[in-house]
A and B are shown apart, each in its own frame.
Chain A
C-alpha cells in the first residue's frame, strides 16, 4: 500500500477499497517498524492521526471529500501545531507546545489530510545533513550509514522509506531539494510568497519557503495545491491566484527551452553526478525540449552571499529564545544575564550558535556595510542573472547537489565544505525563485537529483516538466531496499 502513489491512494479511498483509518493504521505501523532505525520522526501523534482519519472517512461518507481527504502525511517539526509539540529539533524548544496551527497545517487539515506526526530536521533548519538535531541524526533509507541531507531530512527519510506518502518541508537554501535529491524524492521549493510562512518557525525570513516532498511530481502537485495561496497573516505572502497544478501536468514539452548553466557543470561537481544530469538533459531533449547553454556569472558569489544574509536574519530571528516566556530555561539562573547566557548556551546546538555568531558579526556596527549591505547588493545582481537567463530559456536544469549522500559524521568537523556544497541550491532562495528536485539516476546505489529552476510563479511548469520526465523514466519508482 505504501508504494502506491497519492493519486492511487486517493482513488482507493474514493472507491472505498480502503478507509482512511486503515491507511493511517498501515503507515503508523510502518513508522513503528522502521523509525527506530531511521529516526525520521520527532513526534508521532497516533491518537490524533486516527481521530483525523476517522473524521476524514466521515467527511467522505457525507460526500464532502476533497482530492486529498484521508491521505496521511507528515509535517516537518518547524510548522507549529496546536496542542502537539513543535521543537524545530532544538533543545531550546524541546518542551514547546504551540497554542496555534501554522497556516500550512491549517490548510492541510481543512483538506482532510491526516497528520501522522512531526518530522526530524536540522535544528532550526540550519544544516544540510540532518545531523544538527537535538533528537539525533536521521538515517538515509538508501544506506543507513549515510546522511539524508537536510534540513528536511526527517521528511525525506520518512517518504523514501514509505512511512508516509507525503511530507512538508521548508527550504531556505536547499532544505527541500537537497534531501529530496539524496533520498530519491521529488520536492519543490515554491516562489517566495507562494506558501504562507505564518506558523513556520523562522530561520531566515527573506529566504524561507515551505513546500511539499513526495515521490513524484504528481504527488507533490496535489500537496502544493493545498499549501499554496495568499495569507493575510503573512505580509510577504503574495495575493495571486493559485493555478490548478495537476491540470497542466500532461502538457507536452515541445519547444521548451532548457538552459544549462555552464557554471553548474564546472569544478566541484562529481563526475558521476555530472553524467546523470547530462543524461537527464538528453532525455528531456528527446521529449521535445531544446537545450541551451547559459551563464550565471554571479555563481561564485552565491555561497558567501547566502552565508551572510541567512545568518544575519537568523541571529535576529532566534533572539526570542531567551528562556523568559517559553521554551527551555537554564536551571537556577543567578540573574538576568546568567539566564540568557546559559539558556541559550545550553539550548542551542553548535551549528545554530555558529550561525548566530556569524550573523551578529555581519550586522555589527562597522561591519554592516562590508557584509550585510554588500551581500544585499550582490543579491540584486543574482536576481539580474536569473532575469537575464529567463529571457532566453524557460527553465534551468542542473544538479541539485554536487555529490550523492555521504557518511554520517564524515563532514561534521568541516562545516565550510558543507556550505560550499550548497552552491546549486541557494541562489534560488536569494532570488526568490521556484525550483524542484527530481530523481535522475544513481551512483553506487545512492540517488542523484536533478534540479529544475523556473521563473517566478512557474511552479505549474516545473511540475509539468518533472511529470513528463517521470512518464518517460522510472527513477522515481525505485525504492530503497528493505522498505
Chain B
C-alpha cells in the first residue's frame, strides 16, 4: 500500500524579552540555578502576574508577518497540572482565544517547488522550570530560572507531507522569528523547540490517521530523523495489522528512536479556565497598525527583491534569505564587488557553495565566519576582473579561511596572478603538445575526449594560473590546426 504522511508542527519560540512574561525577573540563559526567579516565578502565596507588554508587541509582529488575524481580544487561561517545576500548579497560557489566528508561511522545497503551510494559531504562554535529576542523591533538584520565560507557541496546520517539508517549514519559521527579532532561535539553549504531530493514511484517503505527538526534537536534523522514524514505525505497525495509538512520544537522539511518554488515557485533564488574575488582553487597531510599521523586510519580501534586483533564481534567493545574517553577508559582498548581476550570481554561488561548505565543516554560523564579507568581496573582484581563475580563487579562499589577510597581497606574495598573455600561454601549449605526441596522434585520429587531457596538462604546467578560457581557445586552434 502507498502511504501518505501527514505532519503538523507545534513550535515553542522563546520571546527575546529582557524580563519574564509575568514578572520582572531576567530571562538570560545559563545563570546559576534559581538566581533568576523572583517571588512571582516561585508562585509564593499572594503574588500576582502582570503581563510584560513586550511580549504582546512581539506576538503581534509575528501575527502580521504571517498574514494572520491579530486578535483584539485574547484571553489568558490556566492549564492546571501538578509538577515540581511548575510552581503555581498551573501554567498561564492562551487557550480558547489566542492572540494570533490563521496565517500562512511559504516554503521553498527545491528550485521549482514551493508550498504554502497554514498556521492555525500562535499563543502566548509561560515556560515551566527545570527538574534536575542528577547530583541530588535520589532527590530531584528544581531550577526555576526558566519558569515564566515568555513563549510563543506556533501551531501549524497538518499541511506537511514529508519530513523534508517539515524541516523546510521549521527553517522558514526559524528564519522568520530571527528576522523579526522576537526570538534568538538558539535551539541548543531551547529557545526554539518543536513537537511533531505525525500520522499516516492510505494515499487518496481523506480522513486523517491516528496521530502521535513527538516531543523534544531540538534540531533540524533531529526533526527529520524523528519524523522519519515515526513514519516507518507507523507503517510497520499498520502493515503488520496493528494500530497506531494516540499518544505522546519522546525522541531519543542518541538511539535515534521515539518511545512512548504517555498514552491518551494517561493524559492530564488540564481543567483550562480563564485566569481571573489577568484581564482579557485587549489591543487596539491603532496599536496593530503601529506595529505593522515596525516590521522589517521579511524573508519572502527579501527573496523577491533578491530575485529582481540581482536576477537570482527563486531557489538561490530562498537559500540566501533563509538566514538574515546570510542575506546581509551576501548583500555586503555584492555591494562591494559592484559590477552588476553577473557578479551577483557569482557571489551567490560563493556564499552558498564554498563559504557555506567551510562554515558547515567547522560548525560555524555565518556571523562567525573567519572570512568577512569584505574579504570575500576582494576575492570575487579579482575573479571578475580576470586577475585570477576560479580555481586559484579556491586556493586563495582556503588561505583567507586559514590565515586571514586579503586577496591582493596573497596573489602578490604567492604569484598567483592569472596568465592572460596569449604568447606565454601558446608557448606552454606548444611544450605540452610536443611532450605528448602519442596523445596528439590519438586526438587527431578522432579521440575528442583527449582535449580535456591537454587542458589539464596545460593548467598543471601553469599551476592553474592560465586563463582557462584562453587555454581552451588556443588549444583548440593548435590541436585542430
Verify that A and B bind, or say they do not.
yes
Given contacts A236-B277, A316-B89, contact A197 B50 (CB under 8 A): no
Cβ–Cβ < 8 Å partners of A422 in chain B: none
Contact with A along B83-99 (1 / 0, CB 8 A): 01001111000000000
Given contacts A100-B39, A206-B276, A236-B277, contact A319 B90 (CB under 8 A): yes
Chain B residue with minimal CB distance to A78? B46
Q: Nearest chain B CB to A101's CB is how many angstroms away?
A: 10
Given contacts A319-B82, A320-B88, contact A86 B273 (CB under 8 A): no
Q: Are B276 and A205 in contact (CB under 8 A)?
A: yes
Say yes or no for B446: interface residue by CB 8 A criterion. Answer: no
Q: How far is the CA of A320 from the CA of B84 in the complex (A)?
A: 10
Say yes or no for A217: interface residue by CB 8 A criterion. Answer: no
Say yes or no for B116: interface residue by CB 8 A criterion. Answer: no
Chain B residue with minimal CB distance to A198? B48
Q: Are B87 and A325 in contact (CB under 8 A)?
A: yes
Q: Are A316 and B42 in contact (CB under 8 A)?
A: no
Cβ–Cβ < 8 Å partners of B78 in chain A: 316
Given contacts A232-B50, A364-B271, contact A320 B279 (CB under 8 A): no
From B42, B50, B84, B89, give the contact of A336 (CB < 8 A).
B84
Q: Nearest chain A CB to B24's CB is how many angstroms away?
A: 10
Q: Are A98 and B48 in contact (CB under 8 A)?
A: no
Given contacts A322-B89, A363-B273, contact A80 B46 (CB under 8 A): yes
Q: Nearest chain A CB to B211's CB is how many angstroms away?
A: 19
Instruction: Among B88, B90, B271, B277, find the residue whose CB has the most chain A CB atoms closer than 10 A.
Output: B271
Given contacts A316-B78, A316-B89, A322-B89, contact A201 B46 (CB under 8 A): yes
Say yes or no for A324: interface residue by CB 8 A criterion. Answer: yes
Q: Are A365 and B269 in contact (CB under 8 A)?
A: yes
Given contacts A100-B39, A235-B50, A363-B271, contact A320 B276 (CB under 8 A): no
Contact with B along A313-324 (1 / 0, CB 8 A): 101101111101
Cβ–Cβ < 8 Å partners of A363 in chain B: 80, 271-273
Q: How far is the CA of A199 from the CA of B43 in the complex (A)?
A: 11
Given contacts A324-B142, A363-B273, contact A235 B49 (CB under 8 A): yes
Q: How far is the CA of A206 from the CA of B271 in the complex (A)?
A: 17
Cβ–Cβ < 8 Å partners of B87 in chain A: 320, 324-325
Docked complex: A360-411 residues within 8 A CB-CB of B: 360, 363-365, 368, 372
Q: Are B82 and A322 in contact (CB under 8 A)?
A: yes
Q: Are A88 and B84 in contact (CB under 8 A)?
A: no
Chain A residue with minimal CB distance to B51? A235
Say yes or no for A312: interface residue by CB 8 A criterion. Answer: yes
Q: How far is the CA of A198 from the CA of B277 in the complex (A)?
A: 10
Q: Nearest chain A CB to B390's CB is how many angstroms away?
A: 63
Cβ–Cβ < 8 Å partners of B140 in chain A: 336
Say yes or no for B395: interface residue by CB 8 A criterion. Answer: no
Q: Are A235 and B88 in contact (CB under 8 A)?
A: no
Cβ–Cβ < 8 Å partners of A233 in chain B: 48, 50
Q: Nearest chain A CB to B99's CB is how many angstroms away?
A: 16
Cβ–Cβ < 8 Å partners of A197 in chain B: 48
Given contacts A316-B78, A336-B84, A368-B273, contact A235 B48 (CB under 8 A): yes
Q: How far is the CA of A205 from the CA of B48 in the complex (A)?
A: 10
Q: How far is the CA of A100 from the CA of B39 in the complex (A)?
A: 9
Cβ–Cβ < 8 Å partners of A336 in chain B: 84, 140
Say yes or no for A96: interface residue by CB 8 A criterion. Answer: yes
Cβ–Cβ < 8 Å partners of A79 in chain B: 46
From A80, A365, A372, give the contact of B45 (CB < 8 A).
A80
Say yes or no for B278: interface residue by CB 8 A criterion. Answer: yes
Say yes or no for B44: interface residue by CB 8 A criterion. Answer: yes
Docked complex: B72-86 residues within 8 A CB-CB of A: 78, 80, 82, 84
From A202, A313, A318, A325, give the contact of B46 (CB < 8 A).
A202
Cβ–Cβ < 8 Å partners of A315 in chain B: 80, 271
Contact with B along A425-465 (1 / 0, CB 8 A): 00000000000000000000000000000000000000000
Q: Nearest chain B CB to A244's CB is how many angstroms away?
A: 28
Given contacts A206-B276, A319-B82, A322-B82, contact A198 B47 (CB under 8 A): yes
Say yes or no for A8: interface residue by CB 8 A criterion. Answer: no
Q: How far is the CA of A96 from the CA of B277 in the complex (A)?
A: 23
Q: How far is the CA of A316 from the CA of B90 in the complex (A)?
A: 7
Docked complex: A65-124 residues within 8 A CB-CB of B: 79-80, 86, 88, 93, 96, 98-100, 102
Q: Are A313 and B276 in contact (CB under 8 A)?
A: yes
Q: Are B278 and A319 in contact (CB under 8 A)?
A: no
Q: How far is the CA of A333 from the CA of B291 in the complex (A)?
A: 52
Say yes or no for A326: interface residue by CB 8 A criterion. Answer: yes
Q: Are A199 and B47 in contact (CB under 8 A)?
A: yes
Say yes or no for A200: interface residue by CB 8 A criterion. Answer: yes
Cβ–Cβ < 8 Å partners of B44 in chain A: 80, 98-100, 326
Q: Are A316 and B48 in contact (CB under 8 A)?
A: no
Q: Are B45 and A319 in contact (CB under 8 A)?
A: no
Cβ–Cβ < 8 Å partners of A22 in chain B: none
Q: How far is the CA of A285 from the CA of B90 in the complex (A)?
A: 51
Using A316-B273, A319-B88 as known contacts, list a sample of 9 further A-B pairs with CB atoms less than 8 Å apart, ordered by residue number in A: A79-B46, A80-B45, A100-B39, A201-B46, A318-B89, A320-B43, A320-B89, A326-B44, A365-B271
A-B complex: 10 closest residue pairs judged by Cβ atoms: A319-B89, A206-B276, A363-B271, A205-B276, A199-B46, A320-B43, A80-B46, A201-B45, A201-B46, A365-B269
B residues bordering A, Cβ < 8 Å? 39, 42-51, 78, 80, 82, 84, 87-90, 140, 142, 269, 271-273, 276-279
A residues bordering B, Cβ < 8 Å? 79-80, 86, 88, 93, 96, 98-100, 102, 197-202, 204-206, 232-236, 312-313, 315-316, 318-322, 324-326, 336, 340, 360, 363-365, 368, 372
Q: List 15 A-B contacts (CB under 8 A).
A: A80-B44, A100-B39, A200-B46, A202-B45, A234-B50, A235-B48, A235-B277, A236-B48, A312-B273, A316-B78, A320-B45, A320-B89, A336-B140, A340-B82, A363-B271
